[in-house]
A = this chain, B = another copy of it.
Amino acid sequence: MSETEKEYRHDYYLTAAQCNAQNELSPQMLVQNVIEVATEHANILDIGFSKLSSDKNIWVLSRLTYELKRYPQMHERFGLTTWIENFNRHFSERAFEITGDSGETLGYVRTLWAIINMETRCPADLSNISYMAEYVNERECPIKRQSKIRIAGTPSEVTSYTFRVSDIDCNRHVNSGRYVELITDQCDLQTYDTHFISRFEIAYRHEAIYGEKVDVATALADDLAITEISDGTKKLCAARMFFSKRQQNK
């Protein structure tokens, strides 16, 4: 199998109704699309939902990092190409290239996935699907892995939130994309009009459920925002956003 045959591509078209206030793909939608494409490719390789569910296991997204020169824009056709970069007994690393309308690279995404048992929610072993070794692609994702995310100092922005019906996914836990919204909503609309998130890092640590109340705490420093979502006793999720100035202010 050639390296290209180990890749999978999904093409999208960004409609006006899907755009955010800056007429672009939102970070939340990008993360949803990444999860969708990962799921599709895993199904094709028979390491997906139906394979894992026979052992009562599922894939869970553990970390995601992306870097973008620019976001896909309204009425743009864009592509997400994915490949497996790595895997061991505990984790699988899956990378993505994001391409724009004319085929140019807009950016890259790194994701880290674990397998957990549906019932115990504890990590399971990847050795049952060790045949995925043959799908590992030698292509290297050119963006850095994320390092430990931790707030230093006192957060300047703390928002309380209680998870509601529309936050819950088919696993009865909070939707991965919804965390991204809670995190990006910590900055105001004007920030996004003048700047864009050029690098985004998120680490999912514990699953939240319906009715759970959390604090979303953010510390800002220059063009950097670090956010932690915690339920009072444990950290559910942490994120780091790097902002770049837009060339033309809208």
Interface residues of A (CB under 8 A from B): 15-21, 23, 26, 28, 32, 35-36, 39-40, 49, 74, 164-166, 168-170, 172, 181, 184-185, 187-189, 192, 210-211
- Chain B residues lying within 8 Å of A40, measured Cβ to Cβ, are 15
Q: Which of A16, A18, A35 has the most CB of B within 10 A?
A: A16
A172 near B15 (CB under 8 angstroms)? no
What's the least CB distance linking A196 to chain B, in Å? 12
B15 near A210 (CB under 8 angstroms)? no
Oligomer: number of copies: 2
B49 near A170 (CB under 8 angstroms)? no
A185 near B164 (CB under 8 angstroms)? yes
A185 to B210, CA, bound (A): 11
Q: Given A15-B39, A17-B36, A39-B16, answer yes or no on A26-B166 (Cβ-Cβ < 8 Å).
A: yes
- Chain B residues lying within 8 Å of A18, measured Cβ to Cβ, are 32, 36
A16 near B210 (CB under 8 angstroms)? no
Sampled A-B contacts (21; CB under 8 Å): A15-B36, A16-B39, A16-B49, A17-B32, A17-B35, A17-B36, A18-B32, A19-B170, A20-B165, A20-B166, A21-B169, A23-B170, A28-B166, A74-B170, A164-B185, A165-B184, A165-B185, A165-B188, A165-B189, A165-B192, A189-B211
A16 near B168 (CB under 8 angstroms)? no
- Chain B residues lying within 8 Å of A192, measured Cβ to Cβ, are 165
A234 to B63, CA, bound (A): 43
B21 near A170 (CB under 8 angstroms)? yes
A168 near B39 (CB under 8 angstroms)? no
